[in-house]
Amino acid sequence: MDKPILVLGGSGFIGRHLLAQLETVGRHIRVVSRSYDQARGLLVLPHLQVFLGSVHDQDILRQAMAGAYTIVNLVGILHENRRGGFDDIHVGLPRRLVRLAMESNCRRLIHISAAGVAQDAPSAYLRSKASGERAYEAALEQNPDCGLEVHLVRPTVVVGPDDHLMQRLLTMARLSPLVLPLPSAKAQLAPVYVHDLVTALTRIITNTHHHPGLSRWCFCGPQVLTFQDMVTTLLRLCAIRRLVVPMPDGLARLAASILERLPGALLSRDNLASLTIPSVCDNNDLSRWGVAEPLAFEAVVRRHFAGHHGQRRYAGLRSVSD
């Protein structure tokens, strides 16, 4: 099967790693980008085609979907901003995608959601992700004979090279004198290695069997850690000596209320609300898609962060084109 694969959100953290993985199996890839500058790091991929425009532009989406067998939606935000809110990106885009996919006769649609989503979740982020999932369910219920295969993927927090969370934590630790105050220190997380995630996604994308209908998959790492455990492990292996001190909830909310108004929004009150829900899996479906031994968090840190002062951006993409 050599029909094109449309990847939305291809220039993001997960997207860059997924495109590199797809390139190794020789698949023709399409991405939608607002500009060539934004997609510049991807242009080293020989089988990549860029459509200039917005993922919210229906005409651009129709062009990009024409003849495609699979659509992968990686588009998501952790903070609302002037480019779009949670409802626009996590709900409106899925509604538009599933309708256009049916019109374009695409056969497989893969959507990246999140662990812990629920309509009654404490954060707007998790509620909007749940509503996005519901958009796909409703479309299939209304069109039971459409033949579309929909996969809703719920990963836990994703870690790996070029991971903004780990890089920001390292930067904050290096700038903090002796003590690193940590919000939501007791939050429970089962971090999944980005390579394990994209390996499973590639198996779904390249699966030669077609099963119309909706499937859900939960992907997580092999260990459940507290956020404090993660940060302590990261700093220890990177030889950064700081005392990690949990912030009281009230002080964390006050800090978030200030930080969420600054450019780049390091932290928001909605982020804190999301962290009250464990980012874990009841059943890890990675093994179903060929990842029998997912990499533990400490091994990820040793491989990509310990002894390094940052990874060269897009290095993984450049290597596959050499």
Q: Give the up-direction half-sphere exposure of residue 203: CA atoms within 13 A in the CB hemisphere.
A: 15
User: What tokens does 211 get?
Assistant: 């099963």
Q: Give the up-direction half-sphere exposure of residue 168: CA atoms within 13 A in the CB hemisphere.
A: 9
Summarised one tens digit per residue, pLDDT across range 265-317 is 789 999 999 999 999 999 999 999 999 999 999 999 999 998 754 444 334 44
Summarised one tens digit per residue, pLDDT across range 140-188 is 999 999 999 999 999 999 999 989 899 889 988 998 889 999 999 999 9
Q: What is the mean pLDDT of the chain?
A: 92
Q: How many CB atoms are located within 10 Å of the residue 178 CB?
A: 8
For the chain, the C-alpha Rg in angstroms (whole number) is: 20
Q: ∠126-130-133 over CA atoms, to 5°?
A: 140
Q: How many CB atoms are located within 10 Å of the residue 83 CB?
A: 11
Q: Give the up-direction half-sphere exposure of residue 18: CA atoms within 13 A in the CB hemisphere.
A: 31
Amino acid code (one letter) for 289: W
To the question of domain 5-158+193-220+281-294+312-321 being in CATH 3.40.50.720, the answer is yes
The more confident residue out of 3 and 43 is 3
* DSSP at 312: P
Summarised one tens digit per residue, pLDDT across range 187-220 is 999 999 999 999 999 999 999 999 999 999 999 9
Give the pLDDT confidence score for residue 196 in this predicted structure: 98
Q: What's the distance, Cα to Cα, between the start and end of the chain in Å?
A: 25
Assess contact for 158 and 12: CB atoms under 8 A: no
Summarised one tens digit per residue, pLDDT across range 226-248 is 999 999 999 999 999 999 999 99
The more confident residue out of 36 and 319 is 36
* Average confidence (pLDDT) over 242-268: 93
Residue (of 127, 301, 303) closest to 223 by Cα position: 301
Give the rounded percent of residues in the chain with a pLDDT score beyond 90.
Answer: 79
What's the pTM value of the predicted model, to 2 decimals?
A: 0.92
**83 has pLDDT over 90:** no
Give the pLDDT confidence score for residue 251 in this predicted structure: 97
